[in-house]
Amino acid sequence: MGRISPGLLFALPALIVLTMLVAYPVMYTGVLSVTDQQGNFVGIDNFQRVLGARTTPIAFYNTLWWVGGSVVLQVVLGTTTAILLNEKFPGRGILRSIAVIPWVVPGIVAALTWAWMFHTEFGIINYMLTAPGLIDEPVGWLTNPDTVMPAMIAINVWKLFPFVSIMVLAGLQSIPKDLYEAARVDGSTFLDETWHITLPQVRPVIVAVTLLLVIWALNHITTIYAITKGGPANLTLITPIQIFRLAFSSLQFNQAAALSVLFFAAVMVIVAIYIKVSSAKEDKSL
């Protein structure tokens, strides 16, 4: 027998832990998805049942809206904030520190705080709008079908846009100052510099951050579950919460596993498409 590599020996404990914590649960979920509660093989029966459920297409649509709205606004707001904080002005360091606060706040704390702020009768948001007469009566932000999902997205954007700002701001530090000096000699304005120099230079950072945000949003349930639990009337029900309900409320672990497998496959397809499109754009720019 050949000698075992020392590197493999050092990595073996970590590989064993990863196998126990990742590989085994994934494989067991796959087994659950094709068996019943007694452990009998049922094939695609669980998949058919979960796909035929009335809430499945609702949750899928809400998930797309939740992820799309959150990620787009997080990237736009975070990138804009980073560009502004990269400029030199008095108090820049203080503002940079303040901008990080939403990201530092624990998710459950942020969710419950915003739930009170959006409260119809006692929330400060309605008070700030009704006191100066901007609206005639309080708005049911968390009960109105037209406002509940936008409110959830707004909270998620507030929570994670600082992460985008930090990443983009780090990327801005690596841009050569000569590019801006040459542009100013040619008479470029701030907007010209931003569009033709800043954004192209930090594009790789934005691409990587966007991919992370998509993955996080697809798996994030803290904000919605803590505030609405997927209600009212499933208006904020997303697929991860549907999986949670099936498993721990209805105790339909096999159907929950089947939906998890489908959701995992859908996420992998979305990630693969995003990576392919981003790579194609990057190749064209070279």
The three-state secondary structure class of 140 is coil
CB atoms near residue 265 (< 10 Å)? 10
Query: Tell me: the pLDDT tens digits for 1-23?
Result: 457 778 788 888 888 888 888 88
How large is the average pLDDT for residues 237-264? Answer: 94
What is the pTM assigned to this prediction? Answer: 0.88
- Say if residue 285's pLDDT is above 60: no
The closest alpha carbon to 242, from 57, 41, 67, belongs to 57
- Say if residue 43's pLDDT is above 50: yes
Residue 266 and residue 28: Cα distance in Å, rounded?
Answer: 19
> Are 269 and 206 contacting, i.e. CB atoms less than 8 angstroms apart?
no
Residues in the chain: 286
CB atoms near residue 111 (< 10 Å)? 21
Helix 92-104 × helix 55-85 angle, to 10° = 160
Domains detected in the chain? 55-285 (1.10.3720.10)
Query: Tell me: the pLDDT tens digits for 258-280?
Result: 999 999 998 888 888 877 877 76
Could you tell me the two tokens for 131? 């006191």
Strands (E), 1-157: none
* CA atoms in the 13 A half-sphere facing the CB of 14: 5
Residue 147 and residue 76: Cα distance in Å, rounded?
Answer: 21
Can you give the pLDDT at residue 18? 83
Can you give the pLDDT at residue 283? 61
Share of the chain above pLDDT 90, in %: 60
Residues 85, 115, 111, 145, CA torsion sign = negative
